[in-house]
Structure 1
Amino acid sequence: MELLLSLSMGALAGSGVWLLLRPRTYQVIMGLALLSYAVNIFIFSTGRLRVNAPPIVEKGMEVDPAAFTDPVPQALVLTAIVISFATTALFLVVLLASRGLTGTDHVDGREPEK
């Protein structure tokens, strides 16, 4: 499970950085979104990975904290998802306004010379 998460984090982060280096603003926005997904997976994985473990503490049994996942990273990731959604929506509005004002969607505001 850790290998799968590590590979997905690496693929998302690598794709996000590659898209950040592209000349068009929409690609930059998608790169930021992919990087935020990679960071969310990283934060989520810091709370321990448990598969097929019951989340309920039984009454009268001794509680072993190592047997449960930490809920704080899960709450942080949930908050980060909401914030990244709002930020992406804001970036898309700025992208549309910038394209309307300049007539191009390049990051530097001009078309490449051929």
Structure 2
Amino acid sequence: MIYFLCFILFSIGLYSILTKRNLIKIIIGISIVDYAINLFFILVGYRMNGRSPILEKGEEIERIVDPLPQAVVLTSIVIGLAVTALLVAIAIRIYEKYGTFDINEIKELKG
């Protein structure tokens, strides 16, 4: 069930990216997709009644939570913040040059 909610969050972000014409709304959609993927990774590493992977001498290994997805998500959060900052900086420069955030009105932007 919780994976389905993660999919819904991803779908909302993807809808925002594909249908909105305002650069700021597209950046928010990218952030929502990033949060959905981070949530999915955290859910993959979760174990019911799990414990931290810190062991003492003579202790048996029982239902340990996987720390790798948590480390990946921490790295992903930092990368997502950097990407968002870069996208906002690019959007500000586009606004300074063209005076709008609407991608339909930016006619001179060619790749």
Normalization by structure 1: what TM-score? 0.80
For 2:30, the equivalent position in structure 1 comes to: 32
Q: CA deviation at 1:54?
A: 3.4
Q: CA deviation at 1:41?
A: 1.1
Question: For structure 1, which runs of at least 5 residues remain unmatched after alignment?
Answer: none
Whichever residue aligns with residue 13 of structure 1, its letter is F
- Within 1, Cα distance between the matches of 2:32 and 2:99? 26
- State how many pairs are aligned: 105
- Within 2, Cα distance between the matches of 1:108 and 1:50? 49
Q: Does 1:107 align with 2:106?
A: no
Q: CA deviation at 1:44?
A: 1.8
- Mapped contact 2:51–2:65 kept (Cα < 8 A): no
What's the % identity of the aligned pairs?
30
Q: CA deviation at 1:11?
A: 2.8
For 1:15, the equivalent position in structure 2 comes to: 12
- Within 2, Cα distance between the matches of 1:54 and 1:62? 12
- Within 2, Cα distance between the matches of 1:29 and 1:49? 33
Q: CA deviation at 1:57?
A: 2.4
Whichever residue aligns with residue 40 of structure 1, its letter is N
Whichever residue aligns with residue 19 of structure 1, its letter is S
Normalization by structure 2: what TM-score? 0.82
Measured on the aligned residues, the alpha-carbon RMSD in Å equals 1.9
Q: CA deviation at 1:110?
A: 4.2
- Structure 1, residues 36-76: CA drift from partner, whole Å, max 9, x if none? 1111111222223334x432424312224xx0111111100
Question: For structure 2, which runs of at least 5 residues remain unmatched after alignment?
Answer: none
- Within 1, Cα distance between the matches of 2:29 and 2:87? 12
